[in-house]
Structure 1
Amino acid sequence: MKKTIYKAGILLVLTTSACHETKAPETTTKPFIISDSMAKMIAIDTVKNLFLTSTITLSGEVSFNENTINKVFPRSSGQVIECKVSLGDKVTQGQVLVIIRSADVAGSYADLTSANADINIAKRQLDNTQNLFTNGIASERELNEAKQNYEKAKAVKSKLESTLAINGGKNTNAGGTYTLNSPINGYIVEKKVNAGNFIRPDMGDYLFTISDLKDVWIYANVFEDDIAKVKEGNTAEVKTLAYPNKIFTGKIDKISEVLDPTSKALKIRIRLDNAGGLLKPEMFAKVIISNQENTQSLSLPTKALIDQDGKSFVVVYNSNTDLKIAEVTVIKTVGDKTYISGSVKDGDKLIVTNQLLVFQQLLNTTTP
């Protein structure tokens, strides 16, 4: 009897406890939707299937394009009286660069004066001989000699005038000075003369180099283990210390056939447009050469990646109401492109601006 009552008590307690047991709350999923205001804050880019690109980084320097420069030579020996420009100055076509006093120019003017006098004398002799010949006093031979002397005098004058024209023409004067003028619009990129310098006949060197700097050359050194990685036509990105956030893009247009005996490096040349005039000769440059490989892989903008807990993720965008997180594996990063494998495919759209904010919201869509 007592056992029966005891069992009944236990059953009653269990039944009572079961009646008061609280049910566990159900989890609810709140889908994340991009609002109209947030839609203005994000940017979308696309996954692409591209050939992998390898890069090498080289050191180089900016130089002027030697095909678009003018070297200004002295026309005659003498002494520099005044130099009107400095290294780096901008000059216009016809602008006076330097004034030179030359004994040769002064001598040419003196010879020209003498030649004019000889012409006048020869002309009078010719006229007199012509009159004598007409009156039967002078012979035909004497008339021909007078004509020849007159032509010779004119030839001497013509030669002296040509010499003066070569030495500057209207930019010379009888005092023996002449000017050198800029042949083009551009910049003084080399200057080898100052006031007071003497110019000797045996020098044979130029005084100025003028370049328009509309395009420049970048020379870079390639060491032996990287020679196979560079080819004419390869894309090159150039960065300078002066403009660290600006990238100049060009192509390799020439590769040397010999190595420098001192540095054991091969020199390559890259031509860059410099319409803005930002690049100056002798600037240090970092050159990144891109070379396309034969293997293809999915590529996405590097800025689309989200790194968390040692893994890489992207936010796939189908619409403002259809977004998902996808994990990817990074193969390699080349500049602003990253080659990946993972659960995305060619043509998928990714959020590339403020994607971390969207990523966190998607992680929080499931709340208790």
Structure 2
Amino acid sequence: MNNTKAIILGCVIGGAMTALAYTFLLPSDAPSNAAGQSTEPQPLYWVAPMDPNYRRDEPGKSPMGMDLVPVYEESTGGNEGPGTISISPNVVNNLGVRTASVQRRSLHVPIRTVGYVQYNEDTLIHIHPRVEGWVDTLHVKASGEYVKKGEPLYSLYSPELVNAQEELLLAMRRGSDDLISAARSRLDALQMPNEAIQSLMSSKKVRQTITFSAPQTGFVDNLNIREGFFIKPGNTLLSIGALDEVWVDAEIFERQSAQVTVGLPVTMTLDFLPGKTWEGEVDYVYPTLEQSTRTLRVRLRFKNADYALKPNMFAQITIHSEFDSDNVLVPSEAVIRTGTQDRVVLALGDGQFKSIAVDVGRVVEDYTEITTGLIDGDQIVTSAHFLLDSESSISSDFKRMEAPGALPSSVFTEATITDVMPSHNMITVNHGAISEWDWPEMTMDFTVANHVDLTRLRQGMGAHIEISKENDGQYVVTTVHIIDDNADTQT
């Protein structure tokens, strides 16, 4: 009996304790769980990592077998624009993202190319005979010999010259001035040296061989004769070129042709004499491109007083183009070239980035000129930008976000008054196109400012009017210049 009472008492006490625990403990825990669940962000949808157009309402796999990525409300972006991506500071740091500021600075574009030293063709002389004959004596033995003006080059036996000398002696014996003048003129035309003609007239003896001398000082080139050779008009016997000044023929790419003009300074180095630099200038820019190489030939001129520069030497050339100021430049490493488009990744701040399209100009060492797409002061990504671009380019429109330009608050335009409504303080005008507001030519009703005298306005009258935009967005005619044959009056 006592055991039964003890069991019953224990059950009562246990039930009471269970009820108390349920009453006091469970209500305090359940709301907290519910509140905790309500604060967790809920995905709007799931999207394929490589295809933002593939969306599902629940987790799963993409067509490529990749897990779908949840997209939350805060990650969908607000007004950042298409292609804008947001990355946490920790991820930015782990990726090693570096940025640089777009700069506006002067641009110096040195053009580096190669060239070959050549004779100055302005001073290059080719020796040709005027008569047929045989080379009796050759005073110059090899190409490259240095000769001075007046030194003998070769002696020639020519029956034609012998006959021309006899004609002069015959004319002298006859004493005819006309015949003497004609015979001497023929010897001059055959390029017989003047000293030989004077010797003939004084000695009255025909010379079987005539010696021809160097017409200028220089180096013998292209020696094409030897003793005993038979020569005739049209043969090039040899050439003499001066090396006091030389030409250098160089080639530049087609895209560089606009940067090269006559007179630009040029520096040149050669491997045979390291450390020495020659200074010259652009002497001539050829008018046509080489069809096979698509390059443009440029002729350079250099002084060569010590004869160190020799024809056919290979030279490294730097053409110093003029400084071009006010250019937008970015580090070359920041430009992403895809073959069909050039892009940079714009750093918008607060961990936001966007790929935008740019037009690339000249490339100078470590900098690239941007003609459109960036402005001075923009922040661009120079490191890890390929990763950012691969994500942003999926949905980007590649356009930078810009505030609309401020429009003028008032403009002047020519108009014809088609109607005057004094009771409404309005006029109807047909005005021309207004480019400042992108308005076409049209007929409109305008309210007129109180200080404008409507009594002076007539239908069909031409006028020069000022249209102003009020703070409430209304357009009002504030000034009217009447165009009349007799007067130009302001109302």
Cα distance in structure 2, aligned partners of 1:235 and 1:333:
23
Cα distance in structure 1, aligned partners of 2:259 and 2:181:
62
Contact 1:223 1:264 in 2 (8 A): yes
Deviations 1:189-209 (A, max 9, x none): 3433322222224x2x44332
Cα distance in structure 2, aligned partners of 1:198 and 1:261:
41
Distance 1:115 1:228, change over 3 A: closer
Aligned pair partner of 2:210 in 147, 171, 178 = 178
TM-score, normalization by structure 1:
0.53
Deviations 1:303-344 (A, max 9, x none): xxxxxxxxxxxxxxxxxxxxxxxxxxxx9589xxxxxxxxxx
After TM superposition, the structure 1 stretch with the greater mean CA deviation from structure 2, 89-98 or 55-64, is 55-64
Per-residue deviation at 1:61?
A: 0.6
| 1:41 corresponding residue in structure 2 | none
Distance 1:92 1:200, change over 3 A: same
Deviations 1:74-112 (A, max 9, x none): 242211122212211111111001111111111112223
Cα distance in structure 2, aligned partners of 1:154 and 1:251:
54
Cα distance in structure 1, aligned partners of 2:168 and 2:258:
65
| 1:56 corresponding residue in structure 2 | 111
The answer as to 2:231 corresponding to 1:199 is yes
TM alignment of 1:279-318, pairs within 5 A: 279-295=309-325
Aligned pair partner of 2:221 in 189, 214, 218 = 189
Per-residue deviation at 1:63?
A: 1.1
Per-residue deviation at 1:296?
A: 8.4
Aligned pair partner of 1:108 in 131, 146, 164 = 164
Count of matched residue pairs? 217
TM alignment of 1:60-79, pairs within 5 A: 60-79=115-134
Per-residue deviation at 1:225?
A: 3.1
TM alignment of 1:1-368, pairs within 5 A: 51-85=106-140, 86-119=142-175, 153-165=176-188, 166-171=191-196, 174-201=206-233, 203=234, 205-295=235-325
Q: Percent identity?
A: 27
Distance 1:161 1:231, change over 3 A: closer
Distance 1:82 1:242, change over 3 A: farther
Cα distance in structure 2, aligned partners of 1:83 and 1:93:
16
Per-residue deviation at 1:157?
A: 2.7
Contact 2:130 2:232 in 1 (8 A): no
Letter in 2 for 1:74: P
Per-residue deviation at 1:226?
A: 2.6
Letter in 2 for 1:159: A
Contact 2:149 2:213 in 1 (8 A): yes
Unaligned regions of 5+ residues in structure 1, if any? Answer: 1-49, 120-152, 298-330, 335-368
Structure number with higher relative contact order (C-alpha < 8 Å, ≥ 6 residues apart): 1
Contact 1:75 1:168 in 2 (8 A): no
Per-residue deviation at 1:259?
A: 0.9
Distance 1:260 1:116, change over 3 A: same
SS at match of 1:155: helix
Letter in 1 for 2:183: L
Unaligned regions of 5+ residues in structure 2, if any? Answer: 1-104, 201-205, 328-363, 368-491
Cα distance in structure 2, aligned partners of 1:181 and 1:333:
58
Distance 1:189 1:333, change over 3 A: farther
RMSD across aligned C-alpha pairs, in angstroms? 2.8
Cα distance in structure 2, aligned partners of 1:61 and 1:107:
47
Letter in 2 for 1:176: Q
Distance 1:109 1:57, change over 3 A: same
| 2:348 corresponding residue in structure 1 | none
Contact 1:227 1:266 in 2 (8 A): yes
Contact 2:129 2:232 in 1 (8 A): no
SS at match of 1:226: helix
SS at match of 1:270: strand
| 1:132 corresponding residue in structure 2 | none
Distance 1:69 1:243, change over 3 A: same
TM-score, normalization by structure 2:
0.40
Cα distance in structure 2, aligned partners of 1:248 and 1:232:
18
